[in-house]
Every structure is written in structure tokens, then in C-alpha cells.
Amino acid sequence: MEDLHRFDVVIIGSGLGGSAAARNLAKRGLSILVLERGDFVRQERENWEVEEVVARRRYDAGETWFDADGKPFNPRAYYNVGGATKFFGGATLRFRESDFAERPLGGGSTVAWPFGYAELAPWYDQAEALLEVHGALGEDPSEPPRSPYPFAPLEHESRIAELAEALRAQGLHPIHLPVAIDQGDKGRCVKGSPCDGFPCKVRAKGDAENRILRPLLLKKPPLVTLWTNSRARRLETDASGRRIVAVEVEKGGEKLRVEGGHFVLAAGAVNSAALLLASDNARKPEGLANSSGLVGRNFMCHNNTVVLALSPFRKNPTSFQKTMAIHDFYAAVPGGRPALGAIQLRGKIRPAMLRAKQNPLLRRFPRAIAERSVDFWVMTEDLADPDNRVVLDGEGRIHLRHRPTNREAHEALLRRLGAALRRAGLPLVILDRRGIDALQHQCGTLRFGSDPRTSVLDPWCRAHDLDNLHVIDASFLPSSAAVNPSLTILAQALRASERLADELA
Ligand SMILES: Cc1cc2nc3c(=O)[nH]c(=O)nc-3n(C[C@H](O)[C@H](O)[C@H](O)COP(=O)(O)OP(=O)(O)OC[C@H]3O[C@@H](n4cnc5c(N)ncnc54)[C@H](O)[C@@H]3O)c2cc1C
């Protein structure tokens, strides 16, 4: 291997965190290399073909990881420019104020952030503007103090508006779900096309490529250098062990060594931890940035269930379904029930999504059910547990040990939702409980905090142990809250990378 390349900053991963870091650093005239393990997701007919995306799994990497019992599974990892956001559903919510504090939950407690909501609020504003979030102010009983949304909320279609009314009649507060999808009079979104779990053929989705990285690449000359099909294999330190000097890259079958002044790791929660563990050396046999022993630990990914609610006598003609959420059960009731979690509509279920399900009802009647169901994604906080962790075996393969936490709250939330839906005229409520195959909201493997003994990163996402390594992706989260993570990942990525840009410039 020879020294071929050198940049001011090398960013590993072009997903949400990596793109945000590239944007802030590029503004300062630094030379930036973004290494992306996958390729661009092509805009093609198959983007919206359900059989192609769901049954043939055209876009996920088809990797094999191993669960806590050593059983192989497909983690449905998306390795491409823009990372997981190319496939995300666009639900873009802020964590609630209480999510930043330590609270008792599920027989344990959540972990306090090193700062409160107010510190992140201006960065949430920036994140919402960048992704073009559509939402309605003042509807949500759990919403933190905030400025108005940059765009008006997406309208409910008639079936959903009617359901919202029926839920409101029960005393609930269904809200317009904040989403980063360009709909509305002049919006690019083609209603009726699949969205949640699919790439957007017309760039209506506020994903990391469309809204953050692409504008940098389209400038003449481009503001960053992007290498696709370039996988970071290992980080190399200097003799002191305090600085990264280079990254080994596998680029289309070739091995390269890239030097940098500063490194930003943004490979996603599981892969960022895996890369630090894989970069062990004689001085750091436990891997890099790991003096706390916490690299890879405290992995979290929410308790998730898809709920299909239907009346056998009524079809659901909704084309864009992801417009409503219910947060009435989000916060704990003082002296009463604990915090339960979030309920939101998900992208419309299609028959092909049900054919491989365990539940015999879903497998036998996929079309009849999909034509009638109103479909929800129900989420409960997963607590940080040091035994839930990423480890590598002797061949460098990923083992993900995860035993779910806080299950009682999840089951209680499902019961509350089931009762409300039955009262609202949807008597058949089918649960599709998701397990380790639902890693969409993976986070927490390199927790941030002020104390190097109990965290891997400092409150600005710099590794406590290394002078020139930041980790800017979902890994930093010390707690998972119970809302979708992307907006919080982006807000902290903007905050941390702006500070880094100030330092480097
Ligand atoms: C189907 C789906 C639906 C979702 N829906 C929502 C939603 O509605 N709302 C929400 O908030 N969140 C949603 N999410 C989650 C959201 O997309 C993620 O939380 C977010 O993208 C995580 O950002 P990240 O920067 O940590 O990682 P990513 O965005 O995944 O980026 C990691 C990048 O690093 C690259 N990479 C990995 N290893 C290497 C390596 N060794 N070398 C080089 N590159 C590497 C990957 O290819 C990828 O591009 C969804 C996710 C999925 C999969």
C-alpha cells in the first residue's frame, strides 16, 4: 500500500451525520473527502416497485449479522449515498424536553444528556429547514417549546381525517405528524407512490443525499470529494495513540491508504462501533477510543410494533398515509402510569409486505387485509443496557447482542391503542411485533457525556481518547427516547460539526 491521498478532513459515511458534517466543514474551504461504502441509489422504475424493493430486497446490502444466540440474520442495512435516509419514512420529530433528563422507566432509568433541550433547539430549527419539515405548531401535548415549522402540515386524506375525528371524540389529541416530504400545491411528491421504506424517484423526500450532500456535489467545482464503493476498513493511529493518521480503504477491490488531519466517523451506530473495534492495535487491544470499555455497548433500537386496524366491511383508499401521530401516552402521568411511547401512522401497507410474515392471518389474506387496514408504527423507548452491544468475532463479523428492555410499557401502549381503535370503528386489530430485524432506529453504541469513564464521546462528539476523531451519527445518543431519531441526529451533527469547523478554520 502506498500513500496516495491526503485531505484536511476524511468523513467515513455519507448518511445523515456524515452529510451534515460535510456541509458545515465544506463552508470553511477545507478539503473534504467523504468515503461511502455503497453507491448512489439510481433513480429508476424499480424505486417504486413493491415486489422489487420488499420481496426481492433490491436495495439492502443483504449482509449477515449474528444475534445474541449466534443465529444469522439480515439486518437490512442500506449502504448507499445518503445512508438509511434514502429509505426513511420522513417522520422528523424533536425529542421531548423530558427525554434529555434521567427518569425512572421500565424497572431502570433513562440516561441524562450532558445538556438540555434548550441547547439543541436552534439546531433543530436548522435541521427542520434543511430537510424541509412540514408540521403544525401547538397540536401536540408532548411538544417542547419551539418556533413554527418551516412548511405547513401535510393534509390528512379523508379516511384519516375521519379517524382523527373519532379519536378526538374520545378525548385524544391526534396531531399532524411532522414529515420531511415535499407535498402540497407545488410539491414534487407523487401521491400514491410508495415512500416509507422506498427511495424517492422524484427527490421529494428530505433525505441526506437530496437535501444536504447533493447541493455540495453540484457546485462547480464540487465542495467535497465523494468516493463511492469505498469502504473504510481500519483506522491507524500515530505512536502516541492520541491521533488518527490514516484510514485504510477498500475501493472497488483495491486497497488504499488515505491520510487526514481530522477524521469524522459517520458510518451509523453499529458500523461506527465496529470500525473502532476493528482498528485495535498492540497498544489498544480493546479497540480505539475505548478506555471506558463502552465502545459498542448500550446499543438501542426501540420496541417496535406494526399495528394493522381494520373493519372487514370497509376499504382504506388512502394513498399517502403517514400524516398522523398520537402522543397522548408519551409522557408519564405523575402518580399514575409510566411513559408509554409514540404512535404514528406508517406508509400504507401493501400485500407484498405481508406475504412473508409469521402471523398466519397476514400470510393467508395479504390483499384483503392490506386493502382495508389503517397501519400504525408503535414505538417505545429502549433503555441503555451495557450488555446490549456490538462485538466482532475472529473473522471481523458483526454480532449484535440485544435483549429488549421496557417491554411492559410497550404492551400497555398497544393495549391503549387497540382499545381506542376499536372504539373508533376498527374492530380487528392485528399486531406485527418487530424484533432484531427492525434496526431502523439503531443508536447509542458510542454514547456521549462529560465523564470519560462513563462515555466514549464528549458533548461535542469528539472521542475522549483521541484528539482528531469525531463520531457524528446515531452512535452518540445516550438514550433512545420514543420518537424517530433522524432529526435529533441531524441537529446534534450540525451542532458538533459547526464547532469543529470553527476549530479547524
Ligand atoms: C426503512 C427505514 C425507515 C426509517 N424511517 C425513519 C423515519 O421516518 N424517521 C426517522 O427519524 N428515522 C427513520 N429511519 C432512521 C434514520 O434513517 C436513521 O436514524 C438515520 O439515517 C441514521 O443516520 P446515521 O448518520 O447514523 O447513519 P446512516 O444515515 O445510515 O449513514 C451511515 C452511512 O455510512 C456508510 N458506511 C457504513 N460503514 C461504512 C464504512 N466502513 N466505510 C464507508 N462508509 C460506511 C453507510 O453506507 C451509510 O451511507 C428509518 C430508517 C430506515 C432504514
Q: How do the domains of the chain map onto residue ranges?
A: 2-504
* Nearest alpha carbon to residue 132 among 463, 490, 431, 393: 490
Q: Whose CA is nearest to atom 49 of ligand 1?
A: 83
All three cell numbers of 300, joined, read 438501542
Q: Rounded to the nearest whole angstrom, what is the distance from the C-alpha of residue 23 to the centroid of ligand 1?
A: 17
Question: Would you say the C-alpha torsion 193, 199, 204, 207 has a positive or negative sign?
Answer: positive
All three cell numbers of 234, joined, read 481500519
State the amino acid at position 458 in one-letter form.
D
Q: In whole angstroms, what is the distance from residue 45 CA to residue 193 CA?
A: 11
Q: Rounded to the nearest whole angstrom, what is the distance from the C-alpha of residue 26 to the centroid of ligand 1?
A: 21
Give 50-55's long-range contacts (Cβ < 8 A, gap of 24+). Answer: 50/194, 50/350, 50/352, 50/353, 51/352, 53/194, 53/197, 53/198, 54/197, 54/350, 54/352, 54/353, 55/352, 55/355, 55/356
- Nearest atom of ligand 1 to the alpha carbon of 82: 49
Q: In whole angstroms, what is the distance from residue 111 CA to residue 96 CA?
A: 14
CB 206 less than 6 A from any atom of ligand 1: no
- Nearest atom of ligand 1 to the alpha carbon of 274: 41
CB 91 less than 6 A from any atom of ligand 1: yes
Helices (H), 303-398: 351-354, 360-364, 366-372
Q: In whole angstroms, what is the distance from residue 418 CA to residue 430 CA?
A: 9
CB 488 less than 6 A from any atom of ligand 1: no
CB 271 less than 6 A from any atom of ligand 1: yes
Q: How many CB atoms lie within 10 A of CB 10?
A: 28
Residue spans of beta strands (DSSP E) within 136-227: 175-176, 225-227
All three cell numbers of 358, joined, read 409469521
Q: How many CB atoms lie within 10 A of CB 29?
A: 10
Q: Rounded to the nearest whole angstrom, what is the distance from the C-alpha of residue 164 to the centroid of ligand 1?
A: 31
Q: Rounded to the nearest whole angstrom, what is the distance from the C-alpha of residue 77 to the centroid of ligand 1?
A: 8
CB 410 less than 6 A from any atom of ligand 1: no
Contacts of 109 (CB under 8 A, 6+ apart): 102, 103, 383
CB 485 less than 6 A from any atom of ligand 1: yes
- Nearest atom of ligand 1 to the alpha carbon of 489: 23
Q: In whole angstroms, what is the distance from residue 363 CA to residue 407 CA?
A: 26
Contacts of 336 (CB under 8 A, 6+ apart): none
- 11, 18 in Cβ contact below 8 A? yes
CA 454 to chain CA centroid, nearest Å = 24
- 12, 18 in Cβ contact below 8 A? yes
Q: In whole angstroms, what is the distance from residue 108 CA to residue 102 CA?
A: 10
Q: Rounded to the nearest whole angstrom, what is the distance from the C-alpha of residue 84 to the centroid of ligand 1?
A: 3
- Nearest atom of ligand 1 to the alpha carbon of 197: 1
Helix (H) or strand (E) holding 272: helix 269-278
Per-residue pLDDT of the chain (505 residues; tens, 9 = 90+): 455 799 999 999 999 999 999 999 999 999 999 999 999 999 999 999 999 999 999 999 999 999 999 999 999 999 999 999 999 999 999 999 999 999 999 999 999 999 999 999 999 999 999 999 999 999 998 999 999 999 999 999 999 999 999 999 999 999 999 999 998 778 899 988 999 999 999 999 999 999 999 999 999 999 999 999 999 999 999 999 999 999 999 998 899 999 999 999 999 999 999 999 999 999 999 999 999 999 999 999 999 999 999 999 999 999 999 999 999 999 999 999 999 999 999 999 999 999 989 899 999 999 999 999 999 999 999 999 999 999 999 999 999 999 999 999 999 999 999 999 999 999 999 999 999 889 999 999 999 999 999 999 999 999 999 999 999 999 999 999 999 999 999 999 999 999 999 999 8
Whole-number pLDDT of residue 4: 73
- Nearest atom of ligand 1 to the alpha carbon of 230: 43
Whole-number pLDDT of residue 1: 47
Q: Whose CA is nearest to atom 9 of ligand 1?
A: 91
Whole-number pLDDT of residue 2: 54
In a 10 Å sphere around its CB, with 0-12 CB exposed, 13-18 middle and 19+ buried, how is residue 491 labelled? buried
Q: In whole angstroms, what is the distance from residue 93 CA to residue 106 CA?
A: 23
Helix (H) or strand (E) holding 247: strand 244-251
In a 10 Å sphere around its CB, with 0-12 CB exposed, 13-18 middle and 19+ buried, how is residue 289 labelled? buried
Q: Rounded to the nearest whole angstrom, what is the distance from the C-alpha of residue 15 to the centroid of ligand 1?
A: 6
Contacts of 429 (CB under 8 A, 6+ apart): 307, 308, 309, 417, 418, 421, 422
CB 178 less than 6 A from any atom of ligand 1: no
CB 268 less than 6 A from any atom of ligand 1: yes
- Nearest atom of ligand 1 to the alpha carbon of 13: 34
Q: Rounded to the nearest whole angstrom, what is the distance from the C-alpha of residue 14 to the centroid of ligand 1?
A: 9
Q: Whose CA is nearest to atom 6 of ligand 1?
A: 88
Angle CA(140)–CA(306)–CA(403) in degrees, nearest 5?
A: 100
Superfamily per CATH, domain 2-504:
FAD/NAD(P)-binding domain (3.50.50.60)
Q: Whose CA is nearest to atom 2 of ligand 1?
A: 88
* Nearest alpha carbon to residue 289 among 442, 475, 113: 475
Q: In whole angstroms, what is the distance from residue 14 CA to residue 211 CA?
A: 12
Q: Which of 95, 271, 353, 434 to mutate to test the pocket of ligand 1 (most atoms within 8 A of CB)?
A: 271
Q: Rounded to the nearest whole angstrom, what is the distance from the C-alpha of residue 126 to the centroid of ligand 1?
A: 19
Q: What is the CA radius of gyration of the chain?
A: 22
Q: Phi and psi at residue 282, in whole multiples of 5°?
A: -60, -35
Q: Which of 195, 484, 494 to mutate to test the pocket of ligand 1 (most atoms within 8 A of CB)?
A: 484
Q: Rounded to the nearest whole angstrom, what is the distance from the C-alpha of residue 254 to the centroid of ligand 1?
A: 25
CB 449 less than 6 A from any atom of ligand 1: no
* Nearest alpha carbon to residue 100 among 84, 124, 128, 132: 124
Angstrom CA distances, 342 to 96, 166, 390, 414, 484, stand at: 11, 19, 26, 10, 9
